[in-house]
């Protein structure tokens, strides 16, 4: 009974936070959500105009990843804004589940913003690159979901260090570039010239996720056992970020 009560309290709080910080603002202006899709779309346009057909699938997968990264790292500015400017986080701290369902609600809200861009790129991936197998799509969605979870956790973690409103919008573009564009998401890992760089690339959780998606689209061949390792790496990122975050917020100052 206590467990059920706690669970329903958690879900209510999660639902409220998702509505308030995701669904309702999204309804106010759904077109805002398309802006993170613009840069990847321009990329795609160039490649198509120059008839670089063989790299278009990379541009599409890279685009999906960039869009999810941009919409997930915005957790950083959202959480910091709610804490520093609105101070609504102190009100949400005084709810049944505390700040955890509130934060997951923020992340779900961001996921809603990613949907339009992801939908456009997914349709293009289906039609232009001919990716239709359910298995391939299961891997794509799984990898994108993992990116969302890991990057949202990272965003919330970074937000806890923001002290002033001016800290707010600095990190998101930087992190979007570092996680969504620079690592091998628009090109295969193999193209990185030296083994050291290839190892470094795995610091970014998007490298593993992109490789899973590249292989699901038949663009690269994975070595034996690599599939499991590629899932494990971003999962490990998630665990580390969650642990760091827990340490940051466990005790108020």
Binding residues (CB under 8 A) for another protein: these are 8-9, 12-13, 15-17, 19-21, 24-25, 28, 82, 85-88, 90-96, 98, 101-102, 251-253
Minimal distance, residue 120 CB to another protein, in Å? 23
**Separation between Cα atoms, residue 170 and residue 103, nearest integer Å:** 20
With b for 16 or more beta-carbon neighbours within 10 A and e for fewer, the 66-78 pattern comes to bbbbbbbbbbbbb
Alpha carbon distance 41, 44 (integer Å): 5
> Minimum CB separation from another protein for residue 250, in Å?
11
Nearer to another protein, 93 or 236 (CB): 93
Instruction: Give the HSE-up count for residue 253: Cα atoms under 13 Å, Cβ half-sphere.
Output: 2
Give dist(CA 207, CA 237) in Å, integer. Answer: 12
The torsion of the CA quartet 131, 38, 59, 236, rounded to 10 degrees, works out to -90
* Complex with another protein: residue 49 or 253, whichever CB lies closer: 253
* Minimum distance of another protein from residue 35's CB (angstroms): 16
Residue whose CB is less far from another protein, 8 or 127: 8
Nearer to another protein, 105 or 117 (CB): 105
Q: How far is the CB of 71 from another protein (least distance, A)?
A: 16
* Smallest gap from residue 19 Cβ to another protein (A): 5
Distance in Å, CB of 85 to another protein, minimum: 7
The residue among 15 and 231 lying less far from another protein, judged by its C-beta, is 15
228: exposed, middle or buried (Cβ count in 10 Å: 0-12, 13-18, 19+):
exposed
Minimum distance of another protein from residue 39's CB (angstroms): 24
Q: Give 96 or 198: the residue with its C-beta nearer to another protein.
A: 96
Q: Residue 171: helix, strand or coil by DSSP?
A: helix
Cα separation values, 136 from 68, 140, 217, Å: 18, 6, 6
d(CA 69, CA 40): 12
Nearer to another protein, 5 or 218 (CB): 5
């Amino acid at each position: 009974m206590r467990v059920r009560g706690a669970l329903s309290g958690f879900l209510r709080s999660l639902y409220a936070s998702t509505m308030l910080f995701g669904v309702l603002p999204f309804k106010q202006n759904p077109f805002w959500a398309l802006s993170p899709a613009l840069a990847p779309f321009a990329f795609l346009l160039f490649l198509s105009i120059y008839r670089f057909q063989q790299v278009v699938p990379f541009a599409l997968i890279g685009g999906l990843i960039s869009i999810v990264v941009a919409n997930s790292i915005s957790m950083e500015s959202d959480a910091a804004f709610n804490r520093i400017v609105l101070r609504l986080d102190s009100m949400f701290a005084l709810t049944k589940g505390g700040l955890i369902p509130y934060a997951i609600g923020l992340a779900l809200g961001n996921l809603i913003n990613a949907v339009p861009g992801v939908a456009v790129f997914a349709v293009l991936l289906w039609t232009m690159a001919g990716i239709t197998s359910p298995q391939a799509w299961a891997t794509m969605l799984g990898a994108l979901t993992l990116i969302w979870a890991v990057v949202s956790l990272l965003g919330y973690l970074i937000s806890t260090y923001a002290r002033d409103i001016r800290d707010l919008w600095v990190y998101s573009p930087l992190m979007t570039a570092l996680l969504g564009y620079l690592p091998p998401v628009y090109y295969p890992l193999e193209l990185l010239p030296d083994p050291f760089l290839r190892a470094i690339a795995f610091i970014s959780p998007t490298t593993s996720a992109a490789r899973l998606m590249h292989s699901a689209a038949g663009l690269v061949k994975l070595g034996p056992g690599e599939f499991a390792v590629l899932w494990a790496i971003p999962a490990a990122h998630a665990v580390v970020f969650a642990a760091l975050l827990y340490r940051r917020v466990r005790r108020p100052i």
